[in-house]
Amino acid sequence: GFKCGIVGLPNVGKSTLFNALTRTAAAQAANYPFCTIEPNTGEVAVPDPRMKAIAAVAKSQNIIPTRISFVDIAGLVRGASKGEGLGNQFLANIREVDAIVHVLRCFEDDDITHVEGRIDPVSDAETVETELMLSDLESIERRIVQIRKRATTAKDKEALAVLPLMEKALELLQAGKPVRILLKDIAPEDLPILQELNLLTSKPVLYVCNVAESDAVAGNEHTRAVAAMADAQGAESVVISAAIEAEVAQLSDEEGKEFLDAIGLEEPGLDRLIRAGYRLLDLITYFTAGPKETRAWTVKRGAKAPQAAGVIHTDFERGFIRAQTIAFDDYVTLGGEVAAKEAGKARDEGKEYVVQDGDVMLFRFNT
Ligand code: GDP
């Protein structure tokens, strides 16, 4: 599955948010740095109103959402790249996720210790990013000597392919910049090579501003500073009150709605966070629909029909013949599969078809 790692300095609200996300008490929130030692993984349903619309048309008995994982990663402190605190563990855990959700403390509370002694989320973000950059720098410097040698003396093909990217990454890191910047205009064929390097600062980032309940709707000066920073990096930021989310997570759907209404929020902040995480991972959703269930499935953007079939079952990919595809809008406005077929809106697609977000699909395959 696809994983977002939740990172940030101690006491910024990571565990509170993670607990709300998974509605478990697995990660105990406590006013104590290094409280969360083992990474905890939670699978969450991706909210998507299209499922309900499809289920109504298909008269499905059940709705099954697709899911993504969030990993609560142990608190990072200044000096982590030198192995201080739980530094090494932290860096190893972060290496295993596909994207980073970076929680920043944007709430004031004198009772809750801030490790740096003041509220300054932009500076906190830099502290964490610096540790990641130092780790990447060390990792590249360690590997590049060999690669340069293999590229120049042995004309090794693999080394020749990876060296230009490594040099670029090294240059950025030495200038104090994250490798993520390369993603903006990287050639498609270079992307897998960069990902293969598995650098920490080449992973996409979403900033989460954790605010007091009173700032949940409008944000505050800190969240605006984070938004500006994110914008400059081509990243996204969301404003969330972990405290509110923790409360809502304990309520029934109906009670939760009333609670949010009273505050002036349209939906749980977690729904926004999960959707933002989904976008961050560059994932899209296709659906299967029938009387038994309407179900959402996840594929990486750009996936072709056989790969999409393979998400359901590996046999579907191996024996793939064709896919009947109906766009979500057509499926719902025309009133389902039969009507869409009659209107000529059910396309018959082959192996090269690139799946589109919202496709309602039916696979034909050999067993
Ligand atoms: P972590 O170390 O980043 O995982 O932080 P925790 O989630 O354990 O939170 C640290 C402390 O801050 C706990 O006592 C939380 O109850 C508290 N906390 C978390 N979010 C908020 C918030 O939005 N407002 C306030 N006032 N306290 C919060």
Q: What is the pLDDT of residue 78?
A: 65
Q: Which residues pair with 5 in a beta bridge?
A: 71, 100
Distances from the Cα of 304 to the Cαs of 30, 110, 178, 345, 349, in angstroms?
45, 53, 31, 19, 10
Buried b (16+ CB within 10 A) or exposed e, 93-122: bbeebbbbbbbbbbbeeeeeebbeeebbbe
Q: What is the pLDDT of residue 76?
A: 67
Query: Which residue puts its alpha carbon closest to atom 14 of ligand 1?
Result: 31
CA-211 nearest atom, ligand 1: 23
Q: What is the pLDDT of residue 20?
A: 86
The CA-CA-CA angle for residues 26, 312, 189, to 5°, reads: 90
Question: In this prediction, does ipTM exceed 0.90?
Answer: yes
Q: Domain ranges for the chain, please list them.
A: 3-280, 302-365
Q: How far apart are CA 305 and CA 313, in angstroms?
A: 13
Give ligand 1 pocket residues (Cβ under 6 A): 8, 10-16, 29-31, 35-36, 75, 107, 109, 112, 210, 212, 241-243
Q: Name the one residue in this structure whose structure tokens are 């499935």.
A: 297
* Residue 13 is assigned to a ligand binding site: yes
Question: Rounded to two decimals, what is the model's pTM?
Answer: 0.86
Q: What is the pLDDT of residue 109?
A: 84
User: Which of 112, 244, 245 to mutate to test ligand 1, by most ligand atoms within 8 A of the CB atom?
Assistant: 112
* Residue 16 is assigned to a ligand binding site: yes
CA-17 nearest atom, ligand 1: 7
Q: What is the pLDDT of residue 188?
A: 86
* Residue 292 is assigned to a ligand binding site: no
Q: What is the pLDDT of residue 22?
A: 78
What is the CATH topology of the domain spanning 302-365?
Answer: Ubiquitin-like (UB roll) (3.10.20)
Architecture per CATH, domain 3-280, reads as 3-Layer(aba) Sandwich (3.40)
CA of 190 to the centre of ligand 1 (A): 40
Taking the alpha carbons of 282, 329, 348, 319 in that order, is the dihedral positive or negative? positive
Of 59, 34, 57, 210, which is closest to residue 124 (Cα–Cα)? 210
CA of 323 to the centre of ligand 1 (A): 48
Q: What is the pLDDT of residue 170?
A: 97
User: Which of 12, 16, 113 to mutate to test ligand 1, by most ligand atoms within 8 A of the CB atom?
Assistant: 16
CA-9 nearest atom, ligand 1: 3
Q: What is the pLDDT of residue 83?
A: 62
Q: How far apart are CA 40 and CA 43, in angstroms?
A: 10
* Residue 79 is assigned to a ligand binding site: no
CA of 14 to the centre of ligand 1 (A): 7
Q: What is the pLDDT along the chain (367 residues), one digit of tens a residue?
A: 789 999 998 889 998 998 888 764 333 333 334 434 455 788 888 889 999 999 999 999 999 999 888 998 865 666 666 666 556 777 888 999 999 999 999 998 888 877 777 899 999 999 999 989 999 999 999 999 999 999 998 889 999 999 999 999 999 999 999 998 888 888 988 988 998 999 999 999 999 999 999 999 999 999 999 999 998 888 899 999 999 999 988 888 889 899 999 999 998 898 899 999 999 999 999 999 999 999 999 999 999 999 999 999 999 999 999 999 999 999 999 999 999 999 999 999 999 999 999 999 999 988 7
CA-244 nearest atom, ligand 1: 23
Distances from the Cα of 354 to the Cαs of 188, 288, 304, 310, 357, in angstroms?
16, 16, 4, 14, 10
User: Which of 11, 17, 124, 244 to mutate to test ligand 1, by most ligand atoms within 8 A of the CB atom?
Assistant: 11
Q: How far apart are CA 342 and CA 336, in angstroms?
A: 10
* Residue 350 is assigned to a ligand binding site: no
CA-8 nearest atom, ligand 1: 3
